[in-house]
Amino acid sequence: MQRVALTILLVFASTLFFCSSADGGFAPCQDTVRAEVVGNTINVYHDQAEWNCCATMVFELIAVQDTFNLLEFETFEVGPCFCICCFDLLTSIAHVPPGDYLVRVLSGHTGEVFGEIWVTVELGPWGEPWLGETAQSPCGGWNVGADDPASSTWGRVKALFR
């Protein structure tokens, strides 16, 4: 009986600690998808994406006719932490032929659609599009590609939740 009670208590405690930013008294992630076309490249931004705070994101591109399905996957060096963060993600789809395209950003784990947007590519080569540059902000997000802020304490804070 004690073993069952202890197991239930541990599951309940884990559930309490593994909460989203909204549950922790912080504003919830806004989870917005936007895109811009630069030449023959489509830059896809997933701002305020809610993922595990220890995740390193990996992307996969699946092109089907005039639709680009961009899948996001969480990967972990050691394992997930007991916290959730808002990340700003950038992925580019390069070498895109001229045309109108639907860009969809989805969870590679569940298939949930985070957002979709139509874009028009006016210039470009003929050939197969491929996944180009990717970037991920630190937890909490700020402009992708911006220099790391002066605070270096985040690594120590994140380690507390491992």
Model confidence pLDDT, tens digit, residues 85-119: 999 999 999 999 999 999 999 999 999 999 999 99
The residue among 138 and 147 whose pLDDT is bigger is 138
CA dihedral 24, 28, 33, 36 (to 10 degrees): -90
Confidence of residue 123 (pLDDT cuts 50, 70, 90): confident
Neighbours of 11 (CB within 10 A): 10
CA-based nearest residue to 33, from 72, 74, 84 = 72
Confidence of residue 38 (pLDDT cuts 50, 70, 90): very high
Tell me the C-alpha distance between 56 and 18, whole Å: 18
